[in-house]
A and B are shown apart, each in its own frame.
Chain A
Amino acid sequence: MQLPLEGVTILEFSQYLSGPIAGLRLADLGARVIKIERPVKGDSCRQLAIKNFWLDESSLIFHTINRNKESVAADLKNPEDMAFVKKLIMKADVILHNFRPGVMENVALDYASVKKINPGIVYTEISGYGKKGPWKNKPGQDLLTQSISGLTNSSGNKNDYPIPFGLAIGDYLCGNQAVQAILAALIRRHKTGQGALLELSLLESLLDFQFEFFTTYFQTNQQPKRSEFNNGHSLLSAPYGIYKTLDSYIAVAMMPLEKLNKVLQNKELEKYNESETFKKRDEIKSVLAKCFLTEDTNTWLQKMHEHDLWVMPVLNWEELMRTSTYQRLNMEQEFIVGNKKIKTTRCPIRINRQYFLSTNPAPKLGEHTEKLKKEVENKKTT
């Protein structure tokens, strides 16, 4: 199958997650992604392991994020290496970097310089906090940008500490938005020949992520307040949240109270009407919390689904994997490192009912340096 982004070449001067996750998506959609890494250490993510899980000289997490790419080792302070990198740039469609502001300028690979050797380049920069202002040199790290963005006041309950999202949401969103911007710029370039400068930051991505909250806040000047119990979304009224049942947990989304009480048949709940579900949500939720404890999850699901109420069980990954829905998604794929088969997830987008699958593992540091040197000299490679 010909992949949709075949023929597009991306140079990824990126490390950790925000930039490389964008490279991964573009690679899965068919682009050729070449990581430009410093000699010896390479992308710092090679040395960052979670749960101490290593595959070869690089961590499992590096392999997860960087499969399906090539690697060139180049010292951007060495003129010979730089001459080679510039030849790569002349052949590239997209540059993607996530260094702190000033780093690419210092090696004369900023947009203005690169544009001179490749005017049609789509030059993409990811920073932590933008390129101006007092925070521009702060480390653009996920948890820190979450903390600054106000996001940590959205999850957990009213009396909890600020609770961060337990995944790198800032990196993930920003990298995914970079993919959107790159694709849109490639579309314009196809029509006009014009390149583009695209700038994103983790902080702006996280502010955009909270756009419903900010818009509400701007109208009311009231900070969003997490509910006291079972908080699901601070802007939504009771019953929205996750409740403990006799044996596990159940997720309860939006539904009219009256309809809910047809199933629950709870005397206390009868006292509240629909117009109070936001103002008195803590009271209502505490009534509900007691009520849901009286039956097991399956009983509730059965009763509530009969009334078309929006509820689902709360599952861990093991439980999810046993469901027919998960199994039909064919979400898993494998790549091989050394003699070890590694299972990972695939690209979540389907086009023309085809999945985008790839068995290519992540490259070793500099694995493709020689091959690409020959290629830029227009010598045939095998």
Chain B
Amino acid sequence: MKLLEDILILDFSQFLSGPSASLRLADLGARVIKIERPVTGDICRSLYVSDVKVNGESTIFHAINRNKESYQADIKNLHDLNEIKKLIVLADVLIHNFRPGVMERIGLSYDNVKALNPNLVYASINGYGDEGGWKDKPGQDLLLQAVSGLTFLSGNKEDNPTPMGVAVTDILAGTHLVQGILTAIFNRFTNGKGALVEVSMLESLLDFQFEVLTCFYNDGHTLPLRSAVSNGHPYIGAPYGIYKTAEGYLALAMVDIPSLGRLLGCDALVFYTNPSDWFDKRDEIKVILQDHLNLKSALEWLAILEPEDIWCAEVFDYDMLMKQDGYKVLDMEQDVSIGNQFLKTTRCPIRVDGQILKSAKGAPSLGEHTIAIQKEFDL
């Protein structure tokens, strides 16, 4: 039996945060029905990236919404809304990521819905919480990164504030939402009741920064300083970071500096014997290290460092990664079907009972399952 078999999820959410949560739940075995408005559906269907389309829709829509069904309904239309309410009575979970107030206006607030189905887990993601000056601002990934302080952690000292180049806010909020939903479903076994689960993107990013924020709260509010070269983490000393070599790049994590100096044949490093200098003088150390690492290729350096169990790695781009046996052995790719086409994407990262979780079901076209669902549930 799949972990989440027999759990029915109605997903009203769009873009990435909510849909990434329901994707995970689907891969773990839940049945996910996207509730989409007519004509446009989930706006992500038309959010093209890199000018790449599949079946006239954006590739990322297909990546995020595979393994789901689509039910088309105009929730402003009373007839459609009544059908939705019938589905809500049968569902275990409802997910939405509208701005505060939207679900209330269409009569699907938690209190309304609870009256229809007291066992329902009602899960929402918003941008900035439902109080405070920004509650109506768009909960968009880059904007959340910008206000959360996150952009002062990556890149080097003199760089502009540097956002993380993946939609980390959306994905973390979706991840936390799944945790909240599953906690509430588990708790339902004990108390027999549904629950309201809320996550905001800002809280998710604050949690992501919990270690460094805790340091900041307690060290007299000293703001983080990125290192001048090869910054890997503003709170960690040399050599932590990525370096250019004669050929390719080399990543070095926590390593004892004099030992590193001896192994690399870099005499200037041998004298940094005081571990507190590795943080206090990290820019100076990193400059020496960078100059020295230019002498050989990344592979040559790895051949010296890896046998000594030094924490180091080569730095790959996608083309290089695909060629590695260490990548191939993960069996990370899967093909999903879309009409009579196939789309290659990645699979769920969790293995259960020794099995990887794959599903060949591609993302649905808008309203693809409306009629089947109407029949199945006698709507």
Contacts and interface: CB of A to CB of B under 8 A. Distances in A.
Contacts of A78: none
Given A148-B313, A244-B160, A183 B183 contact: yes
Interface string B229-259: 0111111100011111000010111100000
Interface in A294-353: 310-318, 320, 323-329, 331-332, 342-345, 347-353
B365 interface: no
A253 B16 CA distance: 15
Contact of B197 (A163, A215, A350): A350
B165 A226 contact: yes
Interface string B142-180: 111111111111110001111111111001100111111
A314 B167 contact: no
B132 A51 contact: no
Interface residues of B, number: 148
A286 B218 CA distance: 40
Contact of A29 (B16, B183, B244): B183
Contact of B165 (A2, A65, A196, A232): A232
Interface stretch (A80-88, A132-140, A259-267): A132-140
A184 B235 CA distance: 35
Contacts of B160: 230, 242, 244, 249
B50 A242 contact: no
Contact of A224 (B50, B145, B187, B313): B50
Contacts of B253: 139, 141-144
A196 B317 CA distance: 35
Interface stretch (B33-41, B75-83, B344-352, B368-376): B344-352
Interface string A178-205: 0111011111101110101111110111
A210 to B, nearest CB: 6
Contacts of B226: 166
B195 A351 contact: yes
B3 A185 contact: yes
Contacts of A358: none
Interface string A132-162: 1111001101111111111111111000111
Q: Kindly name the residue among A60, A190, A351 whose own CB sees the greatest number of chain B CB atoms within 10 A.
A: A351
Contacts of A129: 326, 330
B211 A64 contact: yes
Given A325-B132, A331-B206, A343-B218, A147 B146 contact: no
A343 B198 contact: no
Given A50-B236, A132-B329, A278 B50 contact: yes
Interface string A216-229: 11111011101000
Contacts of B140: 253-254, 310
Given A156-B162, A167-B208, A143 B215 contact: no
A324 B142 contact: no
A223 B322 CA distance: 11
B267 interface: no
Contact of A204 (B128, B135, B312, B349): B349
B166 A151 contact: yes
Nearest to B189: A190
Contacts of A244: 160
Contacts of A197: 351-354
B142 A185 contact: no
A366 interface: no
B1 A215 contact: no
Contacts of B163: 155, 231-233, 241-242, 251
Residue picked from B171, B182, B254, most chain A C-beta under 10 Å: B182
Contact of A216 (B50, B141, B221, B350): B50
B187 to A, nearest CB: 4
Contacts of B150: 167
Contact of B171 (A191, A196, A209): A209
A53 interface: yes
Contact of A167 (B28, B175, B209): B209
B321 A150 contact: yes
Contacts of A279: 51
Interface stretch (A69-77, A168-176, A374-382): A168-176
A147 B189 contact: no
B346 A183 contact: no
B64 A198 contact: no
B352 A155 contact: no
A161 B293 CA distance: 14
A242 B146 contact: yes
B131 interface: yes
A132 B332 CA distance: 13
Contact of B326 (A5, A133, A180, A187): A133
A185 B241 CA distance: 37
B304 interface: no
Given A52-B276, A185-B3, A313 B146 contact: yes
A216 B343 CA distance: 10
A351 B184 contact: yes
A220 B52 contact: yes
B183 A349 contact: yes
Given A166-B155, A176-B176, A314-B151, A348 B196 contact: no
Given A235-B49, A351-B183, 11 more contacts: A51-B279, A164-B233, A167-B233, A173-B172, A181-B3, A232-B142, A242-B151, A345-B210, A345-B214, A349-B198, A349-B199
15 contacts: A51-B219, A61-B214, A141-B254, A141-B311, A148-B316, A152-B251, A162-B242, A204-B330, A208-B346, A215-B343, A242-B142, A279-B51, A312-B146, A328-B131, A351-B196
Interface of A: 2, 4-5, 7, 17, 25, 29, 50-53, 60-61, 64-65, 129-130, 132-135, 138-139, 141-156, 160-169, 172-173, 176-177, 179-181, 183-188, 190-192, 194, 196-201, 203-205, 207-220, 222-224, 226, 230-236, 240-242, 244, 249-254, 278-279, 310-318, 320, 323-329, 331-332, 342-345, 347-353
